[in-house]
Amino acid sequence: MKQFDRKVAIVTGGAQGIGGASARKLALNGANVIIADIDEEASKKNVENIQSSGGSATFLKTDVSKSPDIKNMIDFTYEKFNRIDILVQNAFPVISGASRVYGDAVSVKEEDWDYGISVLAKAIYLGTKHVVPIMKKNDGGSIVNMASVHSILQEPGMLVYEAGKAAVVGMTRQMAIEYGPYGIRVNAIAPGHIVSEGLKKVWDKNPSGLKFFENQYPVRRTGIPDDIANGVNFLCSQEASFITGHTLAIDGGLTIQLQEQFGLRQGRYVLDNPDTNMFGPSAEEK
Ligand SMILES: NC(=O)c1ccc[n+]([C@@H]2O[C@H](COP(=O)([O-])OP(=O)(O)OC[C@H]3O[C@@H](n4cnc5c(N)ncnc54)[C@H](O)[C@@H]3O)[C@@H](O)[C@H]2O)c1
């Protein structure tokens, strides 16, 4: 008997990257997975990947910036399986559209604020709104919201992302309090830099930059999608049944290190490796 046999899971942004790995992990452990994503081609590849390993997956074209799509995602899944146990709210176009929301309060266009907040924050409110009545009928469930180290630490030029990701942590805590009595646990994960399929293509053009970037991390590496999928799997499992409202940092220690020591270490690294191209993926490259 597998951990999630007979369970039904929805993963938004489940075609690739963190969501892709999470969909594969939950399916490997027995869940029937709905991949709710805008990218049809990548989603179908992930569905095939899961099915060829003996798992169950279905693609549903979904744009989480659109309210009717989110309602349809929940209705479709409930009609198909008559239950929903897990909702992983992860979609955001790190590779294909993050640059649209870059900027500060002065420079960000109002329509880009609205778009960014709709995907980063409003989608999580709407997904929860529609899934909770169904999870209540099942006697519970687990919701995992994708936050970020940007929920905790701030960067110039990232107003919309930081605001949206901070909201993820706040909503997660509020929802955990609200729905705990119904057996519904709500947690978040705050990943550090995760080299998804898309980010790998960018870093492959700048290997010395990746090494410099990795040196920032106490564990001296950046993450891979499976690092986060393992956290998603754990938070959805029975082993986490007393954990709710928590934001789990999976960041190789990035957010707990003293900044002065970090600056010295990076300075020494560049002195020792003078050919380093220090600049990480730019907005344009993403
Ligand atoms: N990669 C990182 O370093 C990192 C770090 C911290 C947090 N995160 C968060 O993790 C999540 C996934 O990031 P990733 O790196 O795997 O991204 P990615 O770009 O590799 O994959 C995102 C997926 O979401 C889908 N998507 C984009 N917009 C959508 C929409 N409107 N509706 C439905 N699907 C949509 C894309 O098609 C894609 O399949 C995001 O919430 C991101 O903010 C990523």
Q: Where are the domains of the chain?
A: 8-195+222-255
For ligand 1, what atom is nearest to the CA of residue 69? 32
Write down the catalytic residue from 102, 125, 161, 217.
161
Mutating to test ligand 1, I would choose from 18, 148, 255 the residue with most ligand atoms within 8 A of its C-beta, which is 18
pLDDT, mean of residues 115-124: 98
Residue 279 has pLDDT above 90, yes or no: no
- What is the model's pLDDT at position 282? 58
- What is the model's pLDDT at position 53? 97
63-105 confidence digits (pLDDT tens): 999 999 999 999 999 999 999 999 999 999 998 878 889 999 9
- What is the model's pLDDT at position 285? 54
142-200 confidence digits (pLDDT tens): 999 999 999 999 999 999 999 999 999 999 999 999 999 999 999 999 999 999 999 99
pLDDT, mean of residues 211-231: 97
**Domain at 8-195+222-255: CATH code:** 3.40.50.720
Question: pTM of this prediction?
Answer: 0.97
Q: Which is more confidently placed, 259 or 229?
A: 229
- What is the model's pLDDT at position 259? 87
- Tokens standing for residue 27: 């399916």
Chain-wide mean pLDDT for the chain? Answer: 96
Ligand 1 site residues, Cβ closer than 6 angstroms: 12-13, 15-19, 37-39, 42, 62-65, 90-95, 119, 146, 148, 191, 193-194, 196, 198-199
- What is the model's pLDDT at position 281? 61
- What is the model's pLDDT at position 132? 98
- What is the model's pLDDT at position 139? 87
Ligand 1 centre distance from Cα of residue 196 (Å) = 9
For ligand 1, what atom is nearest to the CA of residue 161? 43
- What is the model's pLDDT at position 99? 86
Ligand 1 centre distance from Cα of residue 195 (Å) = 12
Residue 286 has pLDDT above 60, yes or no: no
CA distance 164 to 125: 12
**115 given a catalytic annotation:** no
Nearest CA to ligand 1 atom 43: 92
